[in-house]
Amino acid sequence: MKECNGRNNQRFISRRDLLYNTTQGIGGLALAYLLGQDRLLGAPENTGQKSCVGSAGVTDSPFLPKPSHFPARAKSVISLFMCGGVSHVDTFDYKPMLIKYHGQPLTGKGEVTVRQGFPGPLMKSPYAFKQYGQSGKWVSDLFPNVGALVDDMAFIHSAQGKSVDHTLSTYEWNTGMIIAGYPSVGSWITYGLGSENQNLPAFVVIQDPRGGPFTGPSQWSSGFLPAAYQGTMFRAAGDAVLDLHPPSGSLDLDQQRAELDQLARMNENYVEAHPGISELTARISSYELGFRMQDCAPEAVDIDSESEETKRLYGLNEKISEPFGRQCLMARRLIERGVRMVQLWNGAVVNQNVDTWDAHSNIVTNHGQHAAEVDKPIAGLLIDLKRRGLLDETLVTWQSEFGRMPLSQKGVGRDHNPGAMTVWMAGAKIKGGQTIGASDEFGWKAEQQIVPAHDLHATMLNLIGMDHKRLTYFYNGRNMRLTDVAGELIPQIVA
């Protein structure tokens, strides 16, 4: 099979290109906003015959389906990212030794370095743990609904990052690198596979209604990949897609189609004369996608059409879980319609110690709030996917940017800990009820079968049919990869 690479784009990026590229791409264009701004948005077609699934009638799109390297176990990905740093030792990584040695100093582990400079003694979890399922997996009472589903999930207790900083760690787990400018996982996936639905974006991001994560859109950037592969942001509150409906006095459908065709012809000539510049291609492709989304996006995000039972399943009937419940329900509707990847964010950098999982001040109040926001919606998502026959063909991942210290911070909080973190995966025919790897007896450092970001990313690509060593893009003199020059498959996941 021919490798997926970008050898026709062998050029170095200029400063002007960089500045231009950061303002372009599908994330800012495909929402039909620019169609309205450029007055190219017409009334939606209403023939009663249009299909909102598949690729029928679309012959020129960067998101047309591409062959996988080998048979895939999953068609789509839902990434659940908890912004701020979830404490593994208070959620899914049970540590009885923290109870035994509560209040004593951490010894025998080398130098203790913390982010904010207040290392206290070992602190037991304030939450009770109990065993769930046939696997007997220990889960804290923060996640009773998710705990009931542990036999469908594989827990990785030995994920380990490189940085103690929120921004750098979030980059690492979203792009494989701890610095900005690299493509996100979703961008690599859609670059490699395209999408099964040409009437919706291939890669959708739904952030917390309170606001965005650390550095915002750069976490779903296309980096040096063509600009079209950047994530498209939908909203879970209010209008999911801004400016989707045509403004009054706009061109009619036939006029709009003629304008778009003429623009495409003009810009094709420019692109031919300036090979390797993706911005115009991305803009035209976004115009076309926005044109098609007028028909298809309203139905795709119409959560109100769901049954009352389904809404309750996702927690939409409870104030605290309703926002993330809407995100999860929208994700299910999107992947059901062929969207390749949906990333959901919980936690917003507004009041950081309150609105994210960053529990420096108080682990009880912080994690109590955020777990209540996401526990029921996540369980509802997994249950709903399974009963609809979608779980086996959907990869669901849950993670944060790092774990938290087993030490107390000022007696009630916990500081950052990139040395150990829990990640879990479900769906994609993964064997459930597994526990993979382990942190040490206190949760200080990953100790058995350490899983860095590159290993997680290599495994994710494998599950959707892509060889991480063959998914490349030629840039700055070499073939670039999501996994750089590293990455090993997690054997228990791909077995």
User: Which residues of the chain have a pLDDT value below 50?
Assistant: 1-2, 6-49
50 burial via Cβ count (<10 Å: 0-12, 13-18, 19+): middle
The 3-state secondary structure of 44-64, one letter per residue = CCCCCCCCCCECCCCCCCCCC
pLDDT reported for residue 1: 41
- Tens of pLDDT along 10-54? 444 444 444 444 444 443 334 344 444 444 444 344 444 456 877
pLDDT reported for residue 18: 44
> What stretch of H or E contains 206?
strand 203-206
Are the beta carbons of 363 and 224 closer than 8 angstroms? Answer: no
Tokens 């994609």 sit on residue: 428
Distance CA 327, CA 234 (A): 9
DSSP 156: E
The tokens describing 251, both together, are 């061109």
Distance CA 462, CA 492 (A): 13
- Calculate the alpha carbon distances from 351 to 313, 400, 414 in Å: 29, 18, 17
Rg over CA atoms, the chain: 23
pLDDT reported for residue 39: 41
pLDDT reported for residue 57: 74
User: What rounded mean pLDDT belongs to the chain?
Assistant: 88
What b/e readout covers 461-488, taking b as 16+ CB neighbours within 10 angstroms? bbbbbbbbebbbbbbeeeebbbbeeebe
